[in-house]
Amino acid sequence: MSELVERALTSHLPVERVPIPSRPKVERSEVVDALVMYGAPLWSSGQPTQLSLEEAIARGLALARRHPSLLRVLPVVMFNNRSRLSWDELRSRVADLRTLGMLLDLTAEVTNVELFRSWACALSPPAEQPETAGRPQAPPTPFFEGSRGGRYLELARQRTPAVVKKWGFLMATPIDDFRTAVRRFCPDLTDSTAQT
């Protein structure tokens, strides 16, 4: 316990608010502008951006925890840019590799592109990691921040795509929502997409 908190608890004096250092703020508009530049079907301010494809996906994935529409379009961006997407660069830019694994698996599921599945396998979901094999798994947690109500959790348990649950997440967004976005906004996608 910090000395300041301990002093306040024991002396019953008001505590002076001390600013807590935070991580650099991710500007949603900048990320959305970048994702639109790389093919995301979102409204954008049209401002030029300097974000690389991998940085845009990484930041978009971080923001997707609070903005579900971003998660729905990330498979579109990844599919439409698959030939120029760098695995090493993407992996180095994403802070939460479990979340990246989920996105890669989800993208592979809705696009049928084995490249994304192989990248996801390189990360291996928690249930398949050697140090957790055979141990009881923690229950899945909601992917989207603020999604903790009883009704939401009930829907999420019913609707969470298997590839999302495999990574330890719940969401009330069914797999068909992702498939619909990909079919609509990925002109190169066919039912038998080549195993890129």
The H or E element spanning position 165 is: helix 162-165
* Mean pLDDT for the stretch of residues 165-189: 93
* Mean pLDDT for the stretch of residues 118-137: 70
pLDDT at position 195: 41
* Mean pLDDT for the stretch of residues 159-188: 93
The H or E element spanning position 141 is: strand 141-142
Handedness of CA 7, 8, 14, 19 (dihedral sign): positive
pTM of the model: 0.78
pLDDT at 188 > cutoff 60: yes
Interval 93-117: pLDDT, tens:
999 999 999 999 999 999 999 999 9
* Mean pLDDT for the stretch of residues 10-16: 44
Interval 135-158: pLDDT, tens:
566 788 899 988 667 888 888 899
* Mean pLDDT for the stretch of residues 4-24: 45
pLDDT at position 189: 84
**Residue pair 54/86 in contact by the 8 Å Cβ criterion:** yes
| Least confident residue range of 27-31, 122-126, 157-161 | 122-126
Alpha carbons 175 and 112: distance in angstroms, whole number: 13
